[in-house]
Amino acid sequence: MTMNKTQRLQRWYDDNATADSLLFGEFMHLGANQTILKVGLHGIEPGQSSVVLDMACAVGGNARWLASLYGCTVYGNDIDEDAIATANDLAQIENVSDQCNFIVAPVEQTGLEPNSVDLVVSTDVYDIEEVARVLKPGGRFLLSALFRLDAPDPDEIATKHGLAIELRRDVTELAQTFLHSKEEEARLLQKSGIISDRQLIQVINDALRRRGGHHLLVRWRKE
């Protein structure tokens, strides 16, 4: 029997009982969801001729959403072969497989041609050099991520990689509220016997790892 989207995602969750897959849904965590993306894309929405890269795409929630809503061509890379297989299956189920190209590749070597991408979206500060390499002049990099106090800030990234900041919003309060709600949800699941003590600790540790700085939504333009 052919699986629908819910069934295919559930198989992924069953096979990958991690903090992200257990609680954060197909968009995996804060910053990889439609609301945040809409804010970051306001005024620069891609079109059917646009080429987009969803960097470290996991099961491709962002990529499939972008392809479905805007009709653009989307590439998604991840080193997790199971995640990429799931992304391909979901793209087929959602009838966007002709627009979505999911590849097993690390963030520092996506395999895409230089100056070939109009928009890169990401939910962590991965390899900015690779982002700058694949972006066309005038292309955008949209990032929602935790900036730790000892990490390069958006201005430093802009100066080093030939990017200009177009948008910067501090969404730390939103991020902390989101993480707290997921911790409480995990405690409820643990008390109900649906997840184990170990999985609860995993969720709490993951939430702690995402603290200690500012969570920013930033959009750069390649000069």
Distances (CA, A) of 193 to 15, 187, 200: 18, 10, 11
Tokens of 134: 């694949």
Return d(Cα 116, Cα 110) in angstroms, integer: 12
Q: How confident is the model at residue 3 (pLDDT cuts 50, 70, 90)?
A: confident
CB 131 within 8 A of CB 110: no
pLDDT greater at residue 42 or residue 17: 42
Tens-place pLDDT, residues 70-105? 999 999 999 999 999 999 999 999 999 999 999 999
Is the pLDDT at 19 greater than 60? The verdict is no
Q: What is the pLDDT of residues 168-183, one digit of tens each?
A: 999 998 888 888 888 8
Amino acid at 109: Q
Average pLDDT over residues 32-42: 82
Average pLDDT over residues 110-119: 98
Whether residue 118 has pLDDT greater than 90: yes
- Distance CA(59)–CA(26), nearest Å, equals 7
Q: Compute the C-alpha angle 7/13/17, nearest 5°.
A: 160
Q: Over the chain, what is the mean pLDDT?
A: 88
Share of the chain above pLDDT 70, in %: 92
For residues 144 and 123, the answer to whether their CB atoms sit within 8 Å is: yes
Q: How confident is the model at residue 111 (pLDDT cuts 50, 70, 90)?
A: very high
For the residues of 18-83, what is the DSSP string, one character each? Answer: SHHHHHS-TT-STTSSHHHHHHHHTT----TT-EEEEET-TTTHHHHHHHHHH--EEEEEES-HHH
CA distance 210 to 215: 9
Sheet holding 135-148, edge to edge: 100-104, 73-78, 51-55, 117-122, 135-148, 213-222, 163-170
**Is it true that domain 5-46+110-222 has CATH number 3.90.650.10?**
no
Q: Over 60: is that where the pLDDT of 28 sits?
A: no
pLDDT recorded at residue 210: 73
Q: How far apart are the first and last CA of the chain?
A: 50
- Residue 23, pLDDT above cutoff 70: no
In degrees and rounded to multiples of 5, residue 26 shows phi and psi of -70, -20
Report percent pLDDT > 90 for the chain.
Answer: 57
